[in-house]
Amino acid sequence: MNQTIAISAQNVIKAFGQGDHAVRALDDVSLDIRKGEFFTLLGPSGCGKTTLLRLIAGFEMPSGGTILLDGADITTLPPNKRPVNTVFQSYALFPHLTVAQNVAFGLEMLGKSKSEVTARVAEMLALVKLEPLAHRKTSQLSGGQQQRVALARALAPQPKVLLLDEPLSALDLKLRKEMQIELKRLQTETGITFVFVTHDQEEALTMSDRIGVMSAGHLQQVGSPKEIYTRPKNRFVASFIGETNFLGATRDPMGYRLDCGIVVQAPAAQADRVTLTIRPEQLRLVPEAEGDIPAKITNLVYFGTDTHCHMSLPDGTEVTARLQSPSDGESGLQIGQGIGLRFVPGALQVLEE
């Protein structure tokens, strides 16, 4: 992959309101987005991800910090001077124009020649498979079709970066799955850098080359979907993406001593008091005598493909293991039964607090 940087946010601060009432939507965020990658900003609502997107688009000016595009400072550039286009959450299609006119809008504003506009619009409509609807008004289209028009319109001027603000949130589940694949295809075919904002962790994991997890105006962790999932940096990232178990532990000469008294091996950290995390599918259940840790089954929940086994450790800590359901659906486990827990080697992660 080409490793040059498309967007670089440096110590970006965005405060809303004034004086004592000011709220920092973004608090000293620094981030590099590589050229040609599918980058996702993931976080709960109000975490600042949309604000960061709007700063890149130029709809808002940062209260502090710098934003670079291909190494050039665009911090104070108005949105119509930035070679960056946006797919809006509400699509914001022009209701008085046809599909083709919507797609042509940006090209016309850039002063492209008529023949060039016509050719490019045809190309874009083919890309999103909307040629038969070129002369329809956008109000006559379904949600999924409007979504495609919004994509074609934003891609037509060949922006250096395409910003997507939760574009799939208005679609139903089936359409959303289709559009996820479609978006990934468009990104690969055009080679344009995509910056995608979502609160849906599954969407982020399936589509992204890299993910930036945000919370409370801070960037918590940046990494590939695998890194984010298997090596979360802190408690927020670990719990926001997928399900996980948290175990309190204290540093011990032999490794870490869990609160239930058992010493385990895990990557070294600075602090004496840490939280360890392990994913439910990385826990193995064995007969009580063979396990590293004794546990007691408190509940069993059947999900079809797998079964969630809720257990309590000797110190009262609750943990969950995800077991693949056997072919006959009978796990042979019973609520109240004692059982042994074993960690998959290397699966235990240490979190920074």
Which residues bind to other proteins, rule: CB under 8 A? 57-59, 78-81, 84-86, 88, 90, 92-98, 101, 105-106, 109-110, 153-154, 157
Q: How many CA atoms lie within 13 A of 123 on its CB side?
A: 14
Q: CA 26, 27, 28, 33 torsion: positive or negative?
A: negative
Judged by CB, which is closer to other proteins: 70, or 227? 70
Give me the sheet containing 5-16, strands edge to edge: 23-34, 5-16, 64-69, 72-73
Quote the least distance from Cβ 53 to other proteins, whole Å.
Answer: 11
Q: Report the alpha-carbon distance of residue 161 to residue 187 in Å, rounded.
A: 11
CB 190 within 8 A of CB 155: yes
**E strand intervals along 185-324:** 193-198, 210-215, 218-223, 245-252, 255-258, 263-264, 273-278, 283-286, 293-302, 306-312, 318-324
Residue among 58 and 291 whose Cβ is closer to other proteins? 58
145 or 180: CB nearest other proteins: 145
CB of 93 to other proteins, least distance (A): 8
**How near is the Cβ of 64 to other proteins at its closest, in Å?**
23
For 284, residues 6+ apart whose C-beta sits below 8 A from its C-beta are 321, 341, 342, 343, 344
Q: Closest CB to other proteins among 105 and 196?
A: 105
In the complex, least distance from residue 130 CB atom to other proteins, rounded to whole angstroms: 18
Q: How far is the CB of 90 from other proteins (least distance, A)?
A: 6
Q: Are 40 and 210 in contact (CB under 8 A)?
A: yes
Instruction: Compute the least distance from the CB of residue 91 to other proteins, in Å.
Output: 9
Q: How far is the CB of 179 from other proteins (least distance, A)?
A: 19
Nearest to 188 by CA among 219, 155, 211: 155
For the bound state, the minimum distance from the C-beta of residue 309 to other proteins, rounded and expressed in Å, comes to 48
In the complex with other proteins, the residue whose CB is nearer, 80 or 327, is: 80
d(CA 34, CA 91): 26
Is residue 122 within 8 Å of residue 156, measured between CB atoms?
no
Minimum distance from residue 94 beta carbon to other proteins (Å): 6
Closest Cα to residue 37, out of 84, 73, 4? 4
Tokens 């235990």 belong to 348
Which has the closest alpha carbon to 189: 251, 127, 235? 127
Q: In terms of CB distance, is 102 or 220 closer to other proteins? A: 102
Q: Minimum CB separation from other proteins for residue 40, in Å?
A: 20
What residues are paired with 337 via a beta bridge?
none
Nearer to other proteins, 18 or 80 (CB): 80
Q: Which of 231, 89, 91 is nearest to 149 (CA)?
A: 91
**Residue among 57 and 350 whose Cβ is closer to other proteins:** 57
Looking at beta carbons only, is 81 or 114 nearer to other proteins?
Answer: 81
Torsion angles phi and psi, residue 136, rounded to 5 = -80, 155
Taking the least distance from each CB to other proteins, the nearer of 56 and 341 is 56
